[in-house]
Chain A
Amino acid sequence: MPLTIIQVGRIVKLVAVEAGGGLQGRLAAMGLVPGVEMEVLRNTPHGPFLIGVKGSRIMLGRGMAQKIRVM
């Protein structure tokens, strides 16, 4: 399921990033690789999306978050 429907406070596992290779690599360099656990810290209808990954806080655009599949 897409990251955008996950409620704040839940911890989910990244399954895949549905994006081009370059973007995947970029996210991977920031710690977003399949299997990594992340906590949804902020999820408001229109603003950016905030997640906690490996001890850092990462802000994603909503479009970006839509492309991240988690479980």
Chain B
Amino acid sequence: MKSRIIVALAGNPNSGKTTLFNALTGARQHVGNYPGVTVERKEGSLRHGNFDMQIIDLPGTYSLTAYSDEEKIARNFIIEEKPDVVVDVLDSSNLERNLYLAVQLMELGVPLVLAFNMSDMARARGYEFDLDKLSRFFGARIVQTVGNKEQGIQELLDAVTATATEGGGAISRPTDKAVNADNENQGGVHGFQGQAPSINYGSEIEEEINKVKNLIIQDGVAVGKYDARWLAVKLLENDKELRDFIGSPALNEQVEKSIAHIEKVIGEHLETAIAGRRYGFISGACRESVRSTIEIRHTTSDKIDSVVTNRVLGLPVFLGLMYLVFHLTFTLGEPPMGWIEACFGWLGGIVEGWWPEGSESLLKSLLLDGIIGGVGGVVVFLPNILLLFLAIAILEDSGYMARAAFIMDRLMRKIGLHGKSFIPMLIGFGCSVPAIMATRTLENRRDRLTTMLVVPLMSCGARLPIYALIIPAFFPQVWHGPVLWIIYVIGIVLAVASAKFLRSTVLKGESVPFVMELPPYRMPTVKGIFIHMWERGWLYLKKAGTVVLGISILLWAMTTFPGLSDDRAAQFETARREILGGTMPEAEKTARLAAILNEEAEAALQSSLAGRIGYAMEPLLRPMGFDWKIGTALIGAFAAKEVFVAQMGIIHSIGEADEESETLREKLKKNYTPLVGFCIMLFCLISAPCMVTIAVTRRESNSWGWALFQLGGLTLLAYGITVLVYQAGRFLGIGVV
């Protein structure tokens, strides 16, 4: 007997599947992605009696026909990985609709257990179930559960164990003839042993199913993988994936013929007809075994909706909530960010202490600037990520997110996006990283990718220091506000235009028609929210952290090597010694030494790989009005946008500067025109998002291709626009003095 049971959790979206999964596995979860797609794969484990159970939370689906990535994944998992038991989680307060998936699982012939979840709500709504009868109809054990109160969990696990130990692997239904449902099962609470019943689709359809089925058996293509009858039904339903799977022309021809024949006879689309028969089976079963005692027309959910999605109040309520999310993420996140920074500063101090004061060492520089600086730069965003996902989890689990999509849909649709895209774009003003992670709430891959790709155009918080440095350096006081506003608006306009562009070119394709369920409002569970938050935080640290560590070491190397030549180093050393041995006052000595140190840093950066690349790029940068110094600083800015300011300081030999540095502003004013200043801001706004953003895009899109497309596309866009603005400005004589 097996001691290990693999359980797949299937169910409609909003059936409380994830809550039940959390109740089953607690914190023993693992989240990953299914290969090649952006759909999450969640696994957990637990021990029940003598059994180790591995539980896989399949994506929420309405059916098992391959309409979407989620459905393909759920179906292929069940067919290919043959879990020992499939638990279908149903919202029992909305049973008929939820049973549609159960019927399909039943037809697939997998060992099935039905979890009638939210049974407390069903009771409150006045439903009474004859579970024994339903159990016979669907050929599966039925257990009533309340996921958010962790009720019925033990009973569910008992049913899973019993079903698993009955023997009979997945998809090995011995016969496929319709079984009369009432000759099975003696005693056993809501239990079922024996063959699964199947649906009678009516003589016209059944005849064609048999024809196709016989061909399938002859052909032998599906042996060991698909049940022949099931495959026949799916082919007649015109399931794209399976139609492609069938190579045999004879079989394809028969399928075409059968579909055409049936549609002619019954006068409706076959897919709809098959779905209709399934619902017929469900209604029949429910008529006999479900009683509704109270008729409730207007539930609490409808009452809340009449305010929240109200034509007048809807938008203000939504904007208010969004402001709250934004505020919570970035204000509450500030103190812990400070602590983390302090922590890394302290760590840096300790590491620095390992070397005698003033000494230079490559290892020290690597540890301090490369590793601690790089990792610190990632970890510092963790409070933002956690708070943001706390807020999102609450909005999502309560059911509000679907309403937000409802409200924003009209506006977002005009730019080719989905109502839900609004939230990531808003968060993008704070930081692109959590914003890109927030695109997870978008189910459609194209909507999600488009949103992900344009999010960096929303000017993030890290770009603010750049504007704060440059605007006062070049523009008179009265212009400070307007220039900043213009920069932000340019970002928004470009984001909207790019989204529209992407949706009509690279990410074109049949636009998925807008159909979405508004789930009833629910109280989110604390456990669910914290699990959600922890998952996101951990994923962020793990994946982004490893890539970022690599890139920041690389950037460190680029700005460090090959270093000053021995001659140059010796020159600086001699200069230092001269001053130390000189007779000038102490204060002047210190100042001169500092000046030499700055000059040395400038020279080192200039001769580093980054400096040389900046130099080599200069002809390319010229049309934008940039010199090699700006180019080199931009390379550093790839680590994090705000690094640009510090790099500009070093390269203009005034040491590490911040955005308040007047000396740096003076230098800029002397070297560049206001037009160049504006172009710097423009370029920083649009171009290459920082490496953390790229790493996160790579993770979330599951492809380097899209991450590099984002990097390349935005950089090209930035280049084009900046060149245009600079040349036009020069031609018209704006901002050249």
Contacts and interface: CB of A to CB of B under 8 A. Distances in A.
Interface of A: 16-17, 19, 21-31, 33-36, 41-42, 44, 46-48, 50, 53-61, 63-64
B268 interface: yes
Given A33-B275, A46-B410, A55-B97, A25 B517 contact: no
A27 B96 contact: no
A22 B67 contact: yes
A12 to B, nearest CB: 16
B442 to A, nearest CB: 15
B96 to A, nearest CB: 5
Contacts of B275: 25, 28-29, 33
B63 A29 contact: yes
Given A34-B272, A48-B406, A50-B518, A25 B97 contact: no
Interface of B: 62-63, 65, 67, 93-94, 96-97, 100, 237-238, 240, 268-272, 275-276, 279, 301-302, 305, 309, 311, 402, 406, 409-410, 413, 513-520
Given A50-B518, A59-B406, A61-B413, 14 more contacts: A21-B269, A22-B238, A25-B65, A28-B276, A29-B62, A29-B67, A33-B272, A36-B279, A47-B406, A57-B519, A58-B517, A59-B514, A60-B514, A63-B514
Contacts of A33: 272, 275-276, 279
29 contacts: A17-B272, A22-B238, A24-B269, A24-B271, A24-B272, A25-B65, A25-B67, A25-B238, A27-B515, A29-B62, A29-B100, A29-B275, A31-B96, A33-B272, A34-B268, A48-B514, A50-B406, A50-B518, A54-B96, A54-B97, A55-B96, A55-B97, A56-B518, A59-B514, A59-B515, A59-B516, A59-B518, A60-B513, A64-B515
Contacts of B301: 57
A55 B62 contact: no
B610 to A, nearest CB: 50
Nearest to A41: B302
A21 B515 contact: no
Contacts of B67: 22, 25-26, 29
A56 B94 CA distance: 7
Contacts of B100: 29, 31
Contacts of A28: 63, 271-272, 275-276
Interface residues of A: mostly helix, strand, loop or mixed? mixed
B93 A55 contact: yes
Nearest to B409: A48
Contacts of B413: 61
Contacts of B302: 41
Interface centre among B238, B272, B519 (most CB of A within 10 A): B272
The 5 residue pairs across chains A and B that have the minimum distance between CB atoms: A61-B514, A28-B275, A29-B63, A29-B62, A57-B518
Contacts of A53: 97
A61 B513 contact: yes
A35 B525 CA distance: 38
A58 B410 CA distance: 16
Given A28-B272, A55-B97, A21 B238 contact: yes
Given A21-B238, A31-B100, A58 B272 contact: no
A43 to B, nearest CB: 12
B447 to A, nearest CB: 13
Contacts of B240: 22
A27 B272 CA distance: 9
Of the candidates A19, A21, A29, the one having the most CB atoms from chain B within 10 angstroms of its own CB is A29
Given A25-B271, A33-B272, A56 B97 contact: yes
Contact of A60 (B65, B94, B238, B515): B515
B94 A54 contact: yes
A23 to B, nearest CB: 6
Nearest to B270: A21
Contacts of A35: 276
B515 to A, nearest CB: 6
Q: Which of B63, B275, B409 has the most A CB atoms < 10 Å from its CB?
A: B275
Given A29-B275, A47-B409, A48-B406, A16 B268 contact: yes
B410 A48 contact: yes
A21 B271 contact: yes
Nearest to B259: A21
A30 B269 contact: no
A62 B515 CA distance: 10
A30 B275 CA distance: 10
Contacts of B270: 21
Contacts of A24: 269, 271-272
Contacts of B515: 26-27, 30, 58-61, 64
Contacts of A29: 62-63, 65, 67, 100, 275
Contacts of A16: 268, 272
Contacts of B96: 31, 54-55
A31 B276 contact: no
A27 B471 CA distance: 54
B268 A30 contact: no
B316 to A, nearest CB: 16
A64 B514 contact: yes
Nearest to A47: B410
A25 B94 contact: no
B276 A59 contact: no
Contact of A56 (B65, B311, B513, B517): B517
